[in-house]
Structure 1
């Protein structure tokens, strides 16, 4: 089973373009054969297909309220899923997807980690996040602690 680094967000909106910028950084990198990057954009529940038969999924996204401005944070999938408000609408996002994952995925659940960034990210932060996502992917998932 493979590992997926799934970069999510809207590249056209400042502040929500962190995931796509990390994707662009990783797209030009040499990756291990079992690590695949996904431009998840705004795919929402359509991202479920990338979790089927996946050993480890590392999401990369902008976050709000988990760290200080300009800081990177690593969260477990469970920590992210607990942020779900229970409703399903445009803003439900990754927490909702991870909350429903056990109910809809027929294969074994992957280890899920989020590499997030608070606020505006400069190029250095994007590069560090790309390296961190690869590191977490290589370990088969993170432990949900700050880097």
Structure 2
């Protein structure tokens, strides 16, 4: 699940990653790639059948632009509760609601990227854009741990 706002430069990194994943890779039928955009709480619907979840997003970590972060389990909603943008307000709420409704995935992983530019632009900054391929590779490793293999087209 890639989330973010593609109109705000690096804020859209999660969406850009899933767009490339859909376009350039053959995915097992069990894998649902979701462009979550800025939907926040409305993404709860996608968890109804999700056993595992990878969230890709821009995450403020007071690091250098393009720095990446991998968190799992309860660290994910805790990190996303430090809001950087309006859509992030809904992600922790969505995960909390999923727990209440017994929809919480067995495993939740956050792949985050430190943004450099958060102003109106359709283009990501070079340090963040340079991480897209690595994030796709990391998604492939996460899926492989869950017994799912992706292949480049």
Please confirm whether the aligned pair reaches a TM-score higher than 0.5, indicating the same fold: yes
Deviations 1:58-115 (A, max 9, x none): 0111000175432111111410222437xxx7652322322332112x4463311111
> Which structure 2 residue ranges, 5 or more long, are not aligned?
117-126, 147-153
More strand by share: 1
Say what the alpha-carbon RMSD is for the aligned residues: 2.4
Distance 1:24 1:125 in 2: 14
Q: 1:65 aligns with which of 61, 66, 76?
A: 61
Matched, 1:138 2:144: yes
Higher relative contact order (CA 8 A, sep 6+): 2
Secondary structure of the structure 1 residue equivalent to 2:10: coil
More helix by share: 2
Deviations 1:122-141 (A, max 9, x none): 4331111111112112213x
CA contact (8 A) 1:80 1:98 kept: no
Distance 1:107 1:113 in 2: 16
Cα distance change of structure 1 residues 107 and 96 upon mapping to structure 2, 3 Å threshold: closer
> Which structure 1 residue ranges, 5 or more long, are not aligned?
1-5, 141-147
Superposition misfits of 4+ residues, deviation over 6 angstroms: none
CA contact (8 A) 2:47 2:104 kept: no
Task: Return the TM-score normalized by structure 1.
Answer: 0.77
Where does 1:6-85 land on structure 2 (aligned, <5 Å)? 6-28=1-23, 29-65=25-61, 67-83=63-79, 84=81
Matched, 1:101 2:98: yes
Distance 1:68 1:100 in 2: 33
Distance 2:20 2:87 in 1: 27
